[in-house]
Amino acid sequence: MRYEAPETLEAATALLAAEMGIARVLAGGTDLLVQMKTDMVDPALVVDLKRIGEMRTITKAVDGFHIGAAVSGAELKEQVELKQHWPGLVEAANLIGSTQIQGRATLGGNLCNASPAADSIPALIAANATVSIFGPKGRRQLAVEDVVLAPRKTALDKGEFVVSFHIPLRAKGMGDAYLRFIPRTEMDIAVVGAGIGLKTDPSGVITAARIGLGAVASRPLHVKAAGDALVGSKLDKAAVDKMVDAVRAACKPIDDKRGTIEFRIKVAGVIAARAAAIAYDRART
Amino acid sequence: MAKHHVSFTINGDPTEILCETHATLLDVLRDELELTGTKEGCSTGDCGACSVTVDGRLVCSCLMLGVEANGKAIGTVEGLAKGDKLHVLQEKFLEHHALQCGICTPGFLVASKALLEKNPDPTETEVRYWLAGNLCRCTGYDKIVRAVMDAATVMRGA
């Protein structure tokens, strides 16, 4: 195995594109090193992306936040302004693993590990995030919900990697939240996760809503019909019921030791409704 | 097998090694530097026995390559005591019987020290959540949490 730690995007993509064997990018390594240890993958090349400045910084611009894909969860948590704008996203990222894992794990890794149960993805969908991807043909943008295609499979081509996430600034009347179900209070993988981002007008009527779901299909879902069900309401029961129905209709989960199909579909509706209530409160304060 | 020249500090001391690409920081600490205070438990980031700090940040040394340590400041359990003088956390772990077999203890000590440097006055809930990534199969955690809370009180007064 070769280890390279390039300092530019161009150098990183050149290394990845030229490798004939298995190449892996290394950010926090909390998934990659476990996969190597358990012989799930034996890369010929590991490209450490942490020396590339853009991947390690969070900047606030007029168009929103640009979050480097290799920023750790612990670093995200310390970004007071980001937390004020998108508390649901920061909370979702901080649910991943222990304090030790947070010291290394990154948003880019959580996305590109391509688990249907990744906690940060539904919250990124709710926040309307786009990802900036760099590769042999230069840079391109993709909506976050279009990155994961299936378990362990992403829309990234050979030589490509995620550089950063773009999230709009939170305007007045916007709020977000992420909740997940796990059978205990810490250190587990989501049985179901739901992220909600809402926009309200001054009278409290919802004018836009985005709902992301995790662990209920082969990839994280953006459920447009569920968000649309809330638009025009003040989160009254009829609108929430309609949203819950749309959430449950979108679920195509698996049966496994963490939860049955029936349980996941039921709980997806319950936690989506709870997350919506939190997001609405945040939008109104 | 290619070897990398890696330099970093361990508990403040500048150190240089030749490191194999595959070796984790945990392998480097235990096998190259013979700093065996840091324990290997699960090797997959679940148990926290291998906890160290990297530039002040708490991490599992089993989930980091040795080559990634280049230029970093590493802190291990060996850095807690000053000669024969134990760190307050170590004294409190003894006083509260916060260990039995002891294999998780270095990880708990390093994690607790990182907590108290960041938050000198944690609530019990904060201690329990911070230490959720450190597993102990002997004590049931209660004595550990009491030891950390007591150490925090002493350290605030010092």
- pLDDT tens per residue across span B64-92: 999 999 999 999 999 999 999 999 999 99
pLDDT score at A187: 85
Say whether A98 and B64 touch across the interface (CB within 8 A).
no
Chain A residue nearest residue B107, CA to CA: A100
Residue type, A257: K
Name the closest residue on chain B to residue A184, using Cα atoms.
B132
Q: Evaluate whether residue A211 is within a structural domain.
A: yes
> How many other CB atoms sit within 10 Å of the CB of residue B14?
8
Q: Does B130 lie at the interface with A, CB-CB under 8 angstroms?
A: yes
Q: Give the domain CATH number at A209.
A: 3.30.390.50
Specify if A237 maps to a domain: yes
In this model, does residue A91 exceed pLDDT 90?
yes
In a domain, A60, yes or no: no
Domain with A43, as residue range(s), is: 1-48
Q: Do B45 and A33 touch (CB under 8 A)?
A: yes
pTM: 0.96
Instruction: Give the one of A5, A50, A186 whose C-beta lies nearest to B129's C-beta.
Output: A186
Question: pLDDT at residue A160 above 80?
Answer: yes
Helical ranges in B3-141 per DSSP H? 25-27, 88-95, 105-118, 124-130
Indicate the residue type of A275: A
CA distances from B91 to A25, A154, B106, B150 (A): 43, 50, 13, 10
ipTM of the complex: 0.96
User: In CATH, what number is assigned to the domain containing residue A39?
Assistant: 3.30.43
pLDDT surpassing 80 at residue B158: no
Is the pLDDT at A261 greater than 90? The verdict is yes
> Taking 70 as the threshold, does the pLDDT of residue A103 lie above it?
yes
State chain A's mean pLDDT as an integer. Answer: 97
Q: Which of B57, B65, B129 sits opposite A103 (nearest CB)?
A: B57
Give the C-alpha separation, A89 to A79, whole Å.
12
CA nearest to B58 within chain A:
A100
Chain-centroid distance of CA B88 in Å reads 15
* CA A147/CA A149 separation, integer angstroms: 6
Q: Does A29 touch chain B (CB under 8 A)?
A: yes
Residue in chain B closest to A51 (alpha carbons) equals B68
Which two structure tokens, joined as six digits, stand for A267? 């709980």
Nearest to B57 among A50, A74, A98 (CB): A74
The answer to whether residue A219 scores a pLDDT higher than 80 is yes
Query: In the predicted model, what is the mean pLDDT of chain B?
Result: 97
pLDDT at res. A185: 82
Region of poorest pLDDT, from A41-55, A182-196, A222-236, B38-52: A182-196
Output the CA–CA distances (angstroms, integers) from residue A69 to A75, A215, B137, in the order listed.
12, 22, 36
Asked if A253 reaches chain B (Cβ–Cβ under 8 Å), the answer is no
**DSSP codes joined into one string, A145-195:** GGTEEETTEESPPTT-EEEEEEEPPPPTTEEEEEEEE-SSSSS---SEEEE
Number of domains, chain A: 2
**pLDDT (0 to 100) of residue A186:** 81
Give me the pLDDT at residue A184, please: 86
Instruction: Please give the average per-residue pLDDT across B131-148, as a whole number.
Output: 96
Interval B5-15 mean pLDDT: 97
Residue-range domain boundaries for chain B: 3-79, 88-156
Q: Test A72 with B57 for CB contact under 8 angstroms.
A: yes
Question: For residue range B101-129, what is the model confidence (pLDDT) as tens digits?
Answer: 999 999 999 999 999 999 999 999 999 99
Helix or strand (DSSP H, E) at A39: none
Helix extents (H) in B1-158: 25-27, 88-95, 105-118, 124-130, 142-157
Fold (topology level) of B88-156: DNA polymerase; domain 1 (1.10.150)
Asked whether residue B1 carries a pLDDT value surpassing 90, the answer given is no
CATH of B3-79, one of 3.60.15.10, 3.10.20.30, 3.40.50.10420, 3.20.20.70: 3.10.20.30
Which candidate in B44, B54, B60 is best for mutational testing of the A interface (most A CBs within 10 A)?
A: B60
Contact of A172 with chain B, judged by CB distance below 8 Å, is answered with no
Residues 23-82 of B with CB under 8 A from A: 24, 43-45, 48, 51, 54, 57-60, 62-65, 67-68
